[in-house]
Amino acid sequence: MSNIRVTALYKFVRFDDPEALREPLLGRLSELGIKGTILLATEGVNGTIAGTSEAMEQALAAISALPGCETLEWKDSHSDAMPFLRLKVRLKNEIVTMGVPGTDPTCLVGAYVKPEDWNDLITDPDTVVIDTRNDYEVALGTFQGAIDPETDSFREFPEWFENFRAELAKQGRTPKIAMFCTGGIRCEKSTSYVKSLGIEDVFHLQGGILKYLETVPKQHSLWEGECFVFDERVSVGHGLEVGDYQLCHACRYPVSAEDRESDKYEDGVSCPRCYGTFTDTKMAALRERQKQVRLAKARGETHIGDDVVMTPRQKAPV
């Protein structure tokens, strides 16, 4: 097994003074050699971190010791090399940014649906299934029949849903609302928001897509395509097998095997999505950077610009 454990975690919990938690947590994780990013806010904790298995056990114990985090859950993957360059523990207004004050999953949230029960819910004709992820994630794969809001960021979801709700009202429909995301954090917050609007029959996939792909056999699955993940794997399929996608290191968007066959694809420099959008100066800088990446790899080192966990918006929702 690979020697670096990569762990994604989040928990909605009330922190009265997240600033007071930051320095002790940063100090403890630093002692353990942990790298990655942890976000702290009054609404809880969110992040992805990596380290040796032994160090990660102690790191997770430290995070679980935060007020109200005794039942913290997480999802693990493994890497041959450390996927992060440094450790960051940051204070934020929200651990996943929706931008709607007062949205609180600790007080109001949709019904959790286990992966093994998800198919029955989303195949019910009276259920509307909504993918709460961003457009570049949905492009890789989604559930059969799911609605794609075509949002560029999670901040756009509330406005999209208000318009969608108005359309349902025009049609005289009051369907059940089932929402999902990668690991649970965005759909958990989305259901809290939707229920705050007075909608009662609201559900979300417990553990997100990743738990579904891990739990439900491929022959019974309603998932189509691959799932974008915010770590060095880039995408996964059924059984959490690593997928075929890679990241374009120029624009940080996922590129398929087909994309990589395009004459607009140059490793580390461009892909069909970003081709032609950079100046000649920028292209020259990208080629030089890619040259340094190759040289570093030949020396058995990781180049500072080769952090494949970064996303198009330099964020890592779960």
The set of catalytic residues is: 181
Core vs surface per residue 144-165: b (16+ CB within 10 A) or e: eebeebebeebebbbeebeebe
d(C-alpha 251, C-alpha 97), whole Å: 22
Any idea which residue has 């999902």 for tokens?
A: 180
d(C-alpha 259, C-alpha 265), whole Å: 7
Report in angstroms the alpha-carbon separations of 98 from 156, 215, 276, 306.
8, 29, 32, 29
In sequence order, the β-bridge partners of residue 40 are 45, 91
d(C-alpha 153, C-alpha 99), whole Å: 11
First to last CA, the chain: 24
d(C-alpha 103, C-alpha 190), whole Å: 9
Residue type, 232: E
d(C-alpha 267, C-alpha 74), whole Å: 33
